[in-house]
């Protein structure tokens, strides 16, 4: 009997102890919840802020993308006035052309190639609060006509460039403030030249006053005689005429060595290729006729010399 009473007392004490522990745990949990409520509220608040920020980022990204696509649409419509409104009045490109010169060149291009059309591929868009950059690839195509020998033929203009647009926010709207062309190649082919692969290889950029080589490669048939030229000039407006010196192209390759200018002007390299065939006119005469013409142009960005770099020890060595 005594053992039963002792056992019951132990059970009672154990139950009371468990109750105390339970109460303590409940109090601790309640206290924990009370102290955690502000933190949870902060988490919810931060989460809502992130959602709102993501909405703003997506909206800004869409605004910039829509502007670039609108530029494409207006350019294809040859709507010069509407296109100009997408650009800042302070616009200047990496060749130093302001908005008036840039749009004068666009207008002249449309007059020369009235059927020219454009396509833009947007590769990347980055932005902060009021400034943005967009890396794009642009292509242009036209089908001009030209007289080759005794025949009028349809040509093919194809231009491809990779460039970076810099944009800034003006009030509620984004505008293009400048652009930098990284790489650009344009070809214009007539007659037989349309079906022949032609490459013009030059460095994409070069230091001021540095020497570089430009190579013209033509995958022409063996029965074709080719003459060609390679020339360079600074990118300026109005455009200067190239001084072409034509040479016979041997082994399908023509090369020239140039020295980059020191006037901080980017350069354009232009090559021209003429394709000729010979056939018997009669028993004593041979007729040579022009079967194709090709023009190809690329750019070389010239890095200006920085005259304000001082290295310790260099000046002493030069003394």
The total of other beta-carbon atoms located within 10 Å of residue 22's CB is 10
Cα 301 from chain centroid? 14
DSSP 252-268: TEEEEEEE--SSS--EE
The residue extents of the domains of the chain are 1-182, 196-319
pLDDT of residue 52: 57
Q: Does the pLDDT of residue 13 top 60, yes or no? A: no
Q: What's the rounded Cα separation, in Å, for the pair 316 and 99?
A: 46
Q: Does the pLDDT of residue 317 top 90, yes or no? A: no
pLDDT of residue 44: 60
Q: Does the pLDDT of residue 30 top 50, yes or no? A: no
Give pTM, 2 decimals: 0.78
Helical spans, DSSP H, in the chain: 2-76, 80-84, 99-112, 314-318
Q: What's the rounded Cα separation, in Å, for the pair 100 and 92?
A: 10
pLDDT of residue 22: 55
- Counted residue by residue, the chain has a size of 319
In the three-class reduction of DSSP (H, G, I as helix; E, B as strand; rest coil), residue 79 is classed as: coil
Cα 85 from chain centroid? 21
Give buried/exposed letters for 246-262 (b at 16+ CB in 10 A, else e). eeebeeeebebebebbe
Model confidence pLDDT, tens digit, residues 224-253: 889 999 999 999 998 877 667 889 998 999
Q: Does the pLDDT of residue 47 top 60, yes or no? A: no
pLDDT of residue 290: 84
Which among 158, 159, 187 is positioned nearest to 270, based on CA atoms?
187
Residue with more model confidence, 214 or 28: 214
Model confidence pLDDT, tens digit, residues 168-217: 999 889 999 999 999 999 999 999 999 999 999 999 999 999 999 999 99
The total of other beta-carbon atoms located within 10 Å of residue 277's CB is 15
pLDDT of residue 189: 95
Q: What's the rounded Cα separation, in Å, for the pair 13 and 129?
A: 68
pLDDT of residue 224: 87
Fold type of domain 196-319: Immunoglobulin-like (2.60.40)
Model confidence pLDDT, tens digit, residues 89-133: 999 999 999 999 999 999 999 999 999 999 999 999 999 889 999
Fold type of domain 1-182: Nuclear Transport Factor 2; Chain: A, (3.10.450)
Give buried/exposed letters for 50-64 (b at 16+ CB in 10 A, else e). eeeeeeeeeebeebb
Query: Using CA atoms in the order 7, 9, 15, 19, what is the torsion angle rounded to 10 degrees?
Result: -160
Residue with more model confidence, 182 or 318: 182
Which among 257, 243, 260, 246 is positioned nearest to 303, based on CA atoms?
260
- Mean model confidence pLDDT for the chain: 84
Q: What's the rounded Cα separation, in Å, for the pair 67 and 137?
A: 15
């Amino acid at each position: 009997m005594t053992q039963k009473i002792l056992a019951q007392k132990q059970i009672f004490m154990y139950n009371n102890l468990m109750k105390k522990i339970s109460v303590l745990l409940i109090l601790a949990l309640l206290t924990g919840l009370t102290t955690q409520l502000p933190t949870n509220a902060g988490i919810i608040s931060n989460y809502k802020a992130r959602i709102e920020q993501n909405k703003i980022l997506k909206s800004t990204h869409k605004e910039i993308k829509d502007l670039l696509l609108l530029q494409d649409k207006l350019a294809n419509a040859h709507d010069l006035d509407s296109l100009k409104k997408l650009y800042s009045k302070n616009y200047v490109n990496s060749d130093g052309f302001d908005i008036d010169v840039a749009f004068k060149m666009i207008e002249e291009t449309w007059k020369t190639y009235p059927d020219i059309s454009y396509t833009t591929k947007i590769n990347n868009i980055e932005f902060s609060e009021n400034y943005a950059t967009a890396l794009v690839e642009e292509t242009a195509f036209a089908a001009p006509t030209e007289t080759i020998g005794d025949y009028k033929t349809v040509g093919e203009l194809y231009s491809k460039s990779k460039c970076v647009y810099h944009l800034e926010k003006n009030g509620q709207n984004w505008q293009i403030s400048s652009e930098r062309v990284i790489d650009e190649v344009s070809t214009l082919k007539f007659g037989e030249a349309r079906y022949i692969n032609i490459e013009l290889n030059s460095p994409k950029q070069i230091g001021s006053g540095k020497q570089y080589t430009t190579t013209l490669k033509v995958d022409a048939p063996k029965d074709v005689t080719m003459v060609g030229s390679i020339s360079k000039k600074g990118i300026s407006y109005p455009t200067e005429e190239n001084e072409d010196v034509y040479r016979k192209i041997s082994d399908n390759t023509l090369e020239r060595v140039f020295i980059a200018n020191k006037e901080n002007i980017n350069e354009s390299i232009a090559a021209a290729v003429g394709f000729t065939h010979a056939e018997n006119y009669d028993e004593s005469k041979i007729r040579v006729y022009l079967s194709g013409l090709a023009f190809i142009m690329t750019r070389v960005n010239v890095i200006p010399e920085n005259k304000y770099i001082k290295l310790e020890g260099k000046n002493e060595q030069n003394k």
